[in-house]
Homo-oligomer: A and B are copies of this chain.
Amino acid sequence: MRSHLLTSCLSAVAFLVTGVANANDELIKMSQNPNDWVMPTGDYANQRYSGLKQINAGNVGKLQVAWTFSTGVLRGHEGAPLVIGDVMYVHTPFPNTVYALDLNNDGKILWKHEPKQDPNVVAVLCCDTVNRGVSYADGKIFLYQNDTTLVALNAKDGSVAWSVKNGDPSKGETGTSAPMVVKDKVIVGNAGGEYGVRGTMTAYDLKTGKQVWRGYSVGPDSDTLIDPQKTTSLGRPVGPDSSTKTWEGDQWKIGGGATWGWYSYDPQLNLMYYGSGNPSTWNPRQRPGDNRWSTSIWARDVDSGAVKWVYQMTPHDEWDYDGINEMVLSDQNIGGTTRKLLTHFDRNGFAYTLDRTNGELLGAEKYDSKVNWATKIDMDKSSPTYGRPQVVSQYSTDHNGEDFNTKGVCPAAQGSKNYLPVAYSPDTGLFYVPTNHICMDYEPFKVGYVAGQPYVGATLSMYPPPGDHNMGNFIAWDGKTGKIVWSDPEQFSVWSGALATAGDVVFYGTLEGYLKAVDAKTGKELYKFKTPSGIIGNVMTYAHGGKQYVAVLSGVGGWAGIGLAAGLTNPTEGLGAVGAYGGLKNYTALGGTLMVFALPGS
C-alpha cells in the first residue's frame, strides 16, 4: 500500500514475468510492506512515502528518542538505513563500513563489514567522503564503495559474495550513490564531474557481479546506448551522434554528466529514470555547444540499457546546474486522465513534470521565486527553442566570459535543490521539497585537464538572496498547478531527504541538526529535536514489534557541510560552500549517529 503506482505495477509485473519469482518480484513485494524499508529510496518510485500512521499529526509532538547508534565514523552521513524484518543495515561515509543491527536486541551488532580502501580516494571526492546507502536483494546487501568497488555481502553474516570495480579513482572516478537492484541486476552510476569524469550507468549481474551493460552520458551512440531512430527527445528521434556533435572535437571524452543521484524504476514500463550531471569543466567558454547529454533526464530499458528517451534541461550548462536530482514517479489525474508522471526538481530551479512513458514535457515551473538565470522554459512545441530555458544574458557566465565575475545568479551552483530527495504523498498529492534559497557570484577561468586532478574552472561564492536571511525553505509543491502550497523557511539550506507518511506528517532534517516533523497539509511544525550533529541524511520509517519508528543519520558534511567536514576555512573553498555555510560552526560539529525515534510506551 505504499502507493497506487506500485500496487498497480505489481500486478503488471506479476503478469509480465508469468509467475517466475526473481529479485525484482521479491523487492516489489517487500517494498509494499511498510514495516520494512527495503530500498534506500523507500520504493522504486522514489516517493519516500510510508503507509505507516501510528505516528501522526496528532501525536508526533510526543515523539522521543527510542535508541541510538554511533557509526564510529565522522563526516557527512547521507542516505538512510535499510530495515528488513528484524535487522537494520547501517552504512557510513569512508571507509563505508556496513553494520547489521539486531532490532530485537537494542541494536546489537550482528556483523560489521569494514572495507579496506586506498585512502587516496578521499582526495578525489569533491564534496565529502559520503556514501548514500546500501541496497538489498536476494539475501545480499550491495555496497558501492567510494573507490567504485561494488560489493555483494551476504546479509546473514556480512561475508563477501563477490565484488567488482566500476571505475578508476586515479582518474577521479568515485562512487557515492546507492546502488539500485532491478530484476537480476545491480545498477550503479558514478561521480567525478569535477574531475572530467565521463558519466556512466552500469548494470551488473546480481548473482555474479558480471557486467551486463554500460551506458555513458556523453559520447558516441554506441557508448550512450542511444538509438538515433528509436531514442526520442521531446517526442522526436534524436538522430545520429546526438551527443558528440554537441561537443567541440573530442571534449566529450572528459565531458562529465556523472550519475551520482537517486534512480527510479517503473516495473510496468521496464524503464529506469535518473539525471546526468553537469558538463566538465564548469567553465562554459571552454566547451562550446549544448554538451549533450549532460544535465539530462534519462529513461533506460533496464534489461539492455537502451535509451527510450532523454531530455536535456540545461543545454550548455554555465552554472553547475548538475541534473542528477531524483525523478519521482507518480500516477496523477491531469485533465481527467491518469497520467504516468515523472516529477523532477532540478538544480536549475525549475520543477519539471514529464510523461514518463515517452518523455513529453508537461510543465516546468520555478519552485523558488528568486530564480533569475532564465525567465522560463519554452513550452511552445512549435518553437525552435521548445523545452529550452530562456537564459537571461546578464546571468550567462558564458556570455560574460572568462575571468568575469557574474554576480547575483540565482540559484547558486548548489541549485534550488540539491541531491537531497523529496517526498511525495499520494494522500495530499503534494511533493515535499528540501530547498536551497541561495544565489552566487560565478567567475569562470581556463583550466587544463589532468587525469585525477580537479577540472572545475570556476570560482564562486554563495549567499542568501539579497534581503533574505534564510538560506533554505522546506516547501510543499503542487505539481498539478506548479505552485508552492506552503513554505517553511530555514536558516540554512535544507540538506536532508524528506519522508512523507500516511499519518499526515512529513519529516526532514536541518543542517543545524534538528529533526523536524511538520503537518503535511499546512507545514505547521509539530515536533523538533536537536540531534547530535547536522542532518544531511534522509529520514526513513519502519515498524518493529507493532511500533512505528522514525530514523535518521545525524552527521554534518556533504557539499554544504564540507567546511566543517574537511576543516576548510577559505570562503571559496569547497566549491564555494565554505563561505556560505560558515555559520554552521556555531551550531554543530562533526558526528555520525543513527537516531531512532518513537512514541512513548511499549
> Which residue of the partner chain, among B70, B73, B108, B532, contacts A586 with CB atoms under 8 Å?
B108
Q: Could you say how many copies of this chain the assembly holds?
A: 2
Residue interface mask A575-602, B partner, CB < 8 A = 1: 0000000000111111111110000100
Tell whether, in the assembled complex, residue A532 and residue B532 are in contact, meaning their CB atoms are under 8 Å apart.
Answer: yes
> Which residue of the partner chain, among B64, B106, B532, B554, contacts A530 with CB atoms under 8 Å?
B106
Q: How far is the CB of A156 from chain B (nearest CB, A)?
A: 16
Tell whether, in the assembled complex, residue A69 and residue B586 are in contact, meaning their CB atoms are under 8 Å apart.
Answer: no
Given A65-B65, A532-B70, decide whether A591 and B589 contact each other with a Cβ distance below 8 A: no
Give the interface size class of chain A.
Answer: 35 or more
Tell whether, in the assembled complex, residue A70 and residue B554 are in contact, meaning their CB atoms are under 8 Å apart.
Answer: yes
> Which residue of the partner chain, among B109, B529, B554, B591, contacts A72 with CB atoms under 8 Å?
B591
Q: How far is the CB of A131 from chain B (nearest CB, A)?
A: 16
Tell whether, in the assembled complex, residue A600 and residue B531 are in contact, meaning their CB atoms are under 8 Å apart.
Answer: no
Residue interface mask A510-538, B partner, CB < 8 A = 1: 00000000000000000001111100000
A404: interface (CB < 8 Å):
no
Residues in B whose Cβ lies below 8 Å from that of A590: 70, 72
Given A591-B593, A593-B591, A593-B593, decide whether A68 and B586 contact each other with a Cβ distance below 8 A: no
> Which residue of the partner chain, among B108, B555, B585, contacts A112 with CB atoms under 8 Å?
B585
A107: interface (CB < 8 Å):
yes
Given A74-B74, A600-B600, decide whether A530 and B589 contact each other with a Cβ distance below 8 A: no
Q: Name A567's closest neighbour in chain B (CB-CB).
A: B114
Q: How many Å lie between the Cα of A592 and that of B73 in the bound state?
A: 10
Residues in B whose Cβ lies below 8 Å from that of A555: 70
Q: Name A514's closest neighbour in chain B (CB-CB).
A: B106
Which 6 pairs across A and B sit closest by C-beta, in order of nearness?
A: A70-B591, A72-B589, A70-B532, A65-B65, A70-B533, A72-B590
Selected A-B contacts with CB under 8 Å, 17 pairs: A64-B65, A68-B593, A69-B532, A69-B589, A70-B533, A70-B555, A70-B590, A72-B74, A72-B533, A107-B530, A108-B586, A108-B587, A109-B587, A112-B589, A532-B594, A591-B592, A593-B593
Chain A contact residues, CB within 8 Å of chain B:
62, 64-65, 67-74, 99, 106-109, 112, 529-533, 554-555, 585-595, 600
